[in-house]
Amino acid sequence: MNRKVVIFLGPPGSGKGTQAELLSEKWGVPTISMGDLLREEKKKDTELGRTIKEKVDQGELVSDDLAQQIIHKRIEQDDTGSGFILDGFPRKESQLRNLDEVLRDVFGSLPSVQAVYIKVSDEEVKRRLGGRRICDNCGANYHIEFKPPQKEGVCDVCEGELRQRGDDTEEVIQKRLEEFHEHNTSLVEGFKQRDQLVTVDGERSIEEIHRDIMDKI
Ligand code: AMP
């Protein structure tokens, strides 16, 4: 297989991570989630960890320089040779240019890139993220309405305590949506101009969306 990079675009809660994982399994290439990489760093008791925590907990983007450094370090690991999937990077046009730089630096040239924009309304995003609960212990995902645990507040897998992600509160969700809208139009336009964009309706079942993506890429 030629090295291929698939980039998922869409608002928070649009299912980028879920669709990225499905594609990852199918193709046997890694998914790189910027949000996960940042949450890993955030846990550390370091200057960098504290800087990231301040931004992420407020629903603000970390600086382009920092995002580029983190993504560069991850892409240069040796599991990306056959391609990879990006979830949450780039999030704006300036980061698209930074990604070009990283790809040229790591691979010597630009690989084939395909962006998949998962469209979901703001109302749906608020419903999905507001009800999301995550196990403190094993990281399993639940939703109070769509995927409730058997016992309220308790993980089915490990009986850990279920919590709301710090940035899934109403106020921070609103802020994350504003960040998204501020940057998304020009980012989508950038991919369109490169002839690298497909769009899918994200308000359907996970399987339907997955099939649609497989048909289009
Ligand atoms: P996510 O898990 O994708 O919703 O990301 C969680 C948070 O991480 C975002 O609200 C931002 O604070 C930060 N973040 C994720 N991706 C980026 C990025 N590409 N650039 C800057 N900050 C980011």
Per residue in 81-134, pLDDT (tens digit) is 999 999 999 999 999 999 999 999 999 989 999 999 999 999 999 999 999 999
Ligand 1 centroid distance, CA of 150 (Å): 31
Ligand 1 centroid distance, CA of 45 (Å): 19
pLDDT at 139 over 90: no
Q: How many CB atoms lie within 10 A of CB 54?
A: 12
pLDDT at 1 over 70: no
| Residue 52 near ligand 1, beta carbon < 6 Å | no
| Residue 62 near ligand 1, beta carbon < 6 Å | yes
Tokens (6 digits) for 105: 């630096």
Q: What is the pLDDT of residue 166?
A: 87
Mean pLDDT for the stretch of residues 199-212: 96
Q: What is the pLDDT of residue 153?
A: 96
Ligand 1 centroid distance, CA of 151 (Å): 31
- For the CA of 12, the closest atom of ligand 1 is 4
| Residue 57 near ligand 1, beta carbon < 6 Å | no
